[in-house]
Amino acid sequence: MDAVVRTRLSVLAVAVSAALAACGGGGGDAGTTPTATTPTTPTTPTTPTTPTTPTTPAAPTASPGTTSSPSSNDTGTITPGLPPAPSVPAANVVVTSVPAATYPGSSETFAAWNSTQDWRARMRTVDATAFGVGLLTQVASLDGIAQTLSTGAPNLTSTNATDRAAAHAAATAQMTSAGYPQSVVVAASTANPLNIGAGTFCAKAIFSALPGVELATSGMRDAGVSSPTAAGGNCVLVAGLTGSQGWQLPPTGSSSVYPFPGKLLTLTQYWGDFAALGFTARPGHIVFASVASVDALPVAVPGAGSGAAIATSAITLNQFSLAVRDSGAAVAARVLVPTGVVRAAGVTAEESTAFRFPTSMALIPDAALLPNTAYQAQFLATVNGRTVTRTWEFTTADN
């Protein structure tokens, strides 16, 4: 099982309050007009009122929020100018326990499912003790949809772009008809040159590329999977939210990344539809970051944060880079962001319509990563005025 490395994230939550009492005023002379005979004594001037001493401004208090400290119960750092960090509504907390899957324990489908669940739990968010993005719940009807899609024609992994688009549109329609207006459908061919099982390769291949990493880090709740018993077929993973379910939301200022910190045996290549992103040859494994959290909603969630999906203009990318850990050699790559994300001065990133959610960002190496090599990724962004920063490592497989 892949190792987990503690990561830290500094997150800012805000509240400032101050009171200043108004100063009091003084009085003036008050007299009467003298008569023609005996002048009256002028009234003694009123003593000016002593100005009220200004009230000392109240010390600002921190809103309960998230921090990068080991204890997630600590209060947040005060940063004047930002609204209080919203707390995670009970209906949106991440799921940490689900019923055991019913797939046969020796099946390739179970291998794909188990990897998916394990990795979602390791996509650390606000600090090293955070659970991740939440577990998925197996739903038999979604298993059925996944199985139908894995053998359907045209299939989701067709080499023809038009056929792929048609297959995905049909798959989304099936999910909607099944009661899942929010869904993600991903697939991969298990025809692989590696000496690993079809189910294991299924999960690895899906999460090496878009939109698999968006599903991997999303707040979906229900899911189904189908994987062939041997290499050579198509595996499919579907996940969604019913109209009554709440999106699983990490705390304010969180970020989820993949490959998750400390991941071992990472594939060196991108096994998804790289042509759709403008690559003419298979590039390297994707490095992905999602800044979805309770105040950066990827889709509208009533009662959570602002309730509306975040505007990409509220996200600024300051850095996204990858380097060989030991030598520090930078990896040549393309950085992709959703349309409208702001790029800080000196940051080169391309807008792409390939993203499913406005909170997603990706770095895709120009060529395959080196085998059996440790890499370090760095990510820095500003989301709704709060800084989100991550530095983490992962290691590739010896393939």
Share of the chain above pLDDT 90, in %: 56
The pLDDT of 364-371, averaged and rounded, is 98
Global pTM?
A: 0.77
| Residue 175 DSSP label | H
Is omega for the bond preceding 259 within 30 degrees of 0, making it cis? yes
The dihedral formed by the CA atoms of 145, 146, 147 and 151, expressed in degrees to the nearest 10 = 100
Distance, CA of 236 to CA of 112 (rounded, Å): 10
Inform me whether the pLDDT recorded for 66 exceeds 80.
no
pLDDT at site 126: 61
Inform me whether the pLDDT recorded for 224 exceeds 50.
yes
pLDDT at site 339: 97
Pairing, β 234-241 against β 182-189 = antiparallel
Distance, CA of 292 to CA of 253 (rounded, Å): 8
Q: CB–CB of 120/132 below 8 Å?
A: yes
> If we measure between CA atoms, which residue out of 365, 184, 357 comes closest to residue 286?
365
> If we measure between CA atoms, which residue out of 193, 341, 211, 347 comes closest to residue 276?
211
352: β partners: 338
pLDDT at site 72: 26
The pLDDT of 31-60, averaged and rounded, is 45
E strand segments, 150-300 = 182-189, 222-226, 234-241, 256-258, 287-290
Buried b (16+ CB within 10 A) or exposed e, 310-337: bebebbbbbebbbeeeeeeeebebbbbb
> If we measure between CA atoms, which residue out of 269, 280, 256 comes closest to residue 364?
269
pLDDT band with cut points at 50, 70 and 90 for residue 151: confident
Distance, CA of 287 to CA of 289 (rounded, Å): 7
**Cα of 134 vs its chain's centroid, Å:** 12
Cα–Cα distances in angstroms (integers) from residue 383 to residues 33, 60, 368, 389, in the given order: 71, 23, 31, 10
> If we measure between CA atoms, which residue out of 259, 192, 193 comes closest to residue 228?
192
Inform me whether the pLDDT recorded for 378 exceeds 80.
yes
The dihedral formed by the CA atoms of 93, 96, 100 and 105, expressed in degrees to the nearest 10 = 130
The pLDDT of 16-34, averaged and rounded, is 35
Distance, CA of 244 to CA of 215 (rounded, Å): 19
| Residue 23 DSSP label | P
pLDDT at site 232: 72
Is residue 77 classed as helix, strand or coil in its secondary structure?
strand
**Cα of 339 vs its chain's centroid, Å:** 17
pLDDT at site 44: 52
> If we measure between CA atoms, which residue out of 65, 84, 103, 68 comes closest to residue 14?
84
| Residue 78 neighbours by CB under 8 Å, 6+ apart | 14, 15, 16, 60, 61, 62
> If we measure between CA atoms, which residue out of 267, 257, 256, 192 comes closest to residue 230?
192
Inform me whether the pLDDT recorded for 308 exceeds 70.
yes
